[in-house]
Chains A and B, each alone.
Chain A
Amino acid sequence: MHYKFGEPAGRYLGPGGGYHVYSGSISEAAPQGYGDIHVHKMAAGEFNFQYGPSTGGLMESVGISLTTPGELINSVGVDPYFKARELKLKGQGIETALLMVERINGFHAASNSLAFLMAVEDALGIETSEEVQKARILQLELERIRSNLEVMKRMCEPAGFGVPTNQLGYLREKVSRIISSASGHRFFFGVNAPGYASIAYSGINEKLNVARQEFERIFYALLESKIFLNRLQNNGVTKDQFLSGPAARASGLRYDSRLDSGLLPYGDTPFFPAVREEKDCFGRFSVRGEEILNSIDIIASLGNLRETDRHVSKAGDGEGCARLESPQGDIFYYVKIRDGKLEDIWHVSPGVLNVRAFQESMKGNIFTDFHFNWESFGIWISEIGVVIR
């Protein structure tokens, strides 16, 4: 296993499997300051406003409790376990487990399934070809483009900004169709296996270049819209250091698994982490926009890819883990395999850190800020509210 159990080393990725995972180690020790969450005491005139778990304004079922004297939000509690699903993964073979892992977060299925498969490959000592590694970068970057478009679209929606909302939705669907024609499935289900990726590269660049021109026009116009920027600037300012993905990079932190995981050859691509200092919704919006453009450049640099032969799953024993940069942030999987079956498996979702940061960032804001801030973190509840058995 390329990861080591021991003392905390590197930046904090989050809790999982009863441990605390860092960029350089798996430890039993939580980082300093992680448990210091201010507990709000209800003051006179305040009341609790329950939003969710099921309401039209939320993409997924999640319980949100807001403490307020009327307009100002003094405290926020997020309960991501309303729709907690139990996944029976332990004891399963790799093939069946993969079907479930793909469905931990369907919208980020490539990130989840590839992190899982790379952990399996680490455990079983399976080598992957350069073609497969490039095919994996292609999937991850296509998924990032689509996911960031979805977040940006959902940030335009509460502003009642109909034209950009629909145009970003149009582009998001265009990317879904590119994914579908390249891989056969709109969410990369059934595309990957140990040492294998089934994705056709032909024509992707041309389609993405057309989408890029359309996106740049919308993105730069939105960055000049004072009405829109007023809703984002100074909304949801994060002071936390425990952040992941675009939320971290929008707070001046150069956190990105593509930089320091070393599992995929991002060094051969024009990848650069988009980092901004604003720490607010505007920073998170800008980072996502810049990442879309960079992801298109990364894909263009991959060259033509050939489909690889299907790898026959290797039975055996071992322990492995892998860390990738999903559109939400660092995603980590740990597996322990005995006789080709999963003896243990757990994962770390970037959403755990970002939910925590969202709660802190919402204090002192008002109700109309809520949706912009919630959407700007791009949190997927399905990935957090899951119990692996």
Chain B
Amino acid sequence: MSNFWFGEGLRKGRKTEKFPLAPPEEPPLWPSYLDGNAEPYCPTEAIKEGMWDPGRCIFCRLCEPQYKPTGKQGIFQVRKTQPLLKKSFYIYKLDSGACGACNVELGTIFDPQYDANRLNIFMTNTPRHADAIVVMGVQTERMKEALKNAYEAMPEPKLIISLGACAISGGIIGKSPMEREQYHVEIAGCPPSPYTILEALSRARGV
């Protein structure tokens, strides 16, 4: 049976896409960059005075047809990079109050289509071994301490990354667990697509 699985692994061949060196093979429409310039109703005020703030956007489609998705991925903002981590970047995920969608999409970047390991990005089970903490979900009372403890347990240099609208701005559900300026990287989306997450984490390493 062990030979079967070895053969099975080989039989399938390489399934990993070339992204981010090549364009995404199957990018989702929602979320992606929006194109428009009107003043439609927006439940999270992500569209205000003609400006679109991706960090507030939950990509709910209520702004259609004034705003349209372009399919373009990479909806993130990097405020600080850490080139020291270029060859080995360990992330620790912290679910402050997520609906589960961000949790799944973060895990997806380690699936064969994306294979984050080939970009030297790894998941760690403890903040003591982490280079970056990835915060997901809204602020919840009992997770405040867990977030603080996890952050303090991480060695320097360290990055704080917000994943998804809830962590960045509170989205439609509540309040964000940290002030927006405290995040070194903002990955927008509700939830962000695996393409966007992969590119953002890669860029956070200064690559």
Residues of B within 8 A of A224 (CB): 1
The yes or no answer to B193 lying at the interface (CB within 8 A) is: yes
Residues of A within 8 A of B94 (CB): 54, 61
CB closest residue in chain A, given B172: A99
Please report which residues of chain B, range 26-73, place their CB below 8 angstroms from some CB of chain A when the two chains form the complex: 26, 28-30, 43, 58-62, 69
Contact of B111 among A106, A173, A221 (CB under 8 A): A173
A 213-229 to B, binary, CB cutoff 8 A, 1 in contact else 0: 00001100100111100
Once A85-B173, A167-B8 are accepted as A-B contacts, the answer to whether A56 and B126 lie under 8 Å apart by CB is yes
The yes or no answer to B92 lying at the interface (CB within 8 A) is: yes
Beta-carbon contact of B123 and A190 below 8 Å:
no
The yes or no answer to A184 lying at the interface (CB within 8 A) is: yes
The yes or no answer to B96 lying at the interface (CB within 8 A) is: yes
**Roughly how many angstroms separate A381 CA and B97 CA in the complex, as a whole number?**
10
Contact of A166 among B29, B112, B126 (CB under 8 A): B112
Beta-carbon contact of B58 and A221 below 8 Å:
no
CB closest residue in chain A, given B129: A56
Least CB distance from A149 to B in Å reads: 11
Q: How large is the interface on B (under 10, 10 to 19, 20 to 34, 35 or more residues)?
A: 35 or more
Beta-carbon contact of B95 and A83 below 8 Å:
yes
Residues of A within 8 A of B108 (CB): 169, 172-173, 176
**Roughly how many angstroms separate A87 CA and B174 CA in the complex, as a whole number?**
8
The yes or no answer to B132 lying at the interface (CB within 8 A) is: no
Beta-carbon contact of A185 and B28 below 8 Å:
yes
The yes or no answer to B150 lying at the interface (CB within 8 A) is: yes
Least CB distance from B132 to A in Å reads: 13
Residues of A within 8 A of B15 (CB): 170
Beta-carbon contact of A53 and B193 below 8 Å:
no
CB closest residue in chain A, given B124: A56
Residues of A within 8 A of B43 (CB): 96, 99
Contact of A56 among B123, B171, B172 (CB under 8 A): B123
The yes or no answer to A131 lying at the interface (CB within 8 A) is: no
**Roughly how many angstroms separate A270 CA and B188 CA in the complex, as a whole number?**
41
Contact of B143 among A83, A163, A164 (CB under 8 A): A83
Beta-carbon contact of A84 and B173 below 8 Å:
no
**Roughly how many angstroms separate A100 CA and B173 CA in the complex, as a whole number?**
6
The yes or no answer to A5 lying at the interface (CB within 8 A) is: no
Residues of A within 8 A of B98 (CB): 60, 83, 106, 382
Beta-carbon contact of B138 and A85 below 8 Å:
yes
Beta-carbon contact of A56 and B143 below 8 Å:
no
Beta-carbon contact of B191 and A181 below 8 Å:
no
Residues of A in contact (CB 8 Å), total: 57
The yes or no answer to A109 lying at the interface (CB within 8 A) is: yes
The yes or no answer to A107 lying at the interface (CB within 8 A) is: yes
Residues of B within 8 A of A86 (CB): 174
The yes or no answer to A356 lying at the interface (CB within 8 A) is: no
Once A56-B126, A189-B30 are accepted as A-B contacts, the answer to whether A95 and B62 lie under 8 Å apart by CB is yes
Residues of B within 8 A of A185 (CB): 28-30, 59
The yes or no answer to A209 lying at the interface (CB within 8 A) is: no
The yes or no answer to B87 lying at the interface (CB within 8 A) is: no
Contact of A100 among B9, B172, B193 (CB under 8 A): B172
Beta-carbon contact of A56 and B93 below 8 Å:
yes
Greatest chain A CB density within 10 A among B4, B123, B150 is at B4
Residues of A within 8 A of B99 (CB): 103-107, 109, 382
Residues of B within 8 A of A190 (CB): 30, 59-62
Beta-carbon contact of B101 and A107 below 8 Å:
yes
Beta-carbon contact of B125 and A56 below 8 Å:
yes
Residues of B within 8 A of A181 (CB): 26
Once A59-B103, A103-B173 are accepted as A-B contacts, the answer to whether A173 and B137 lie under 8 Å apart by CB is no
Residues of B within 8 A of A150 (CB): 104
Please report which residues of chain A, range 49-69, place their CB below 8 angstroms from some CB of chain B when the two chains form the complex: 53-57, 59-61
Once A59-B103, A225-B1 are accepted as A-B contacts, the answer to whether A172 and B111 lie under 8 Å apart by CB is yes
Residues of B within 8 A of A (CB): 1, 4-6, 8-9, 12, 15, 26, 28-30, 43, 58-62, 69, 92-105, 107-108, 110-114, 123-126, 137-138, 140-143, 146, 150, 171-174, 190-191, 193-194
- Report, nearest first, the 4 A-B pairs whose CB atoms are least far apart: A106-B101, A56-B125, A106-B99, A169-B111
8 pairs of residues in contact across A and B, judged by CB atoms under 8 Å? A56-B126, A103-B171, A106-B102, A167-B112, A173-B114, A185-B30, A224-B1, A382-B99
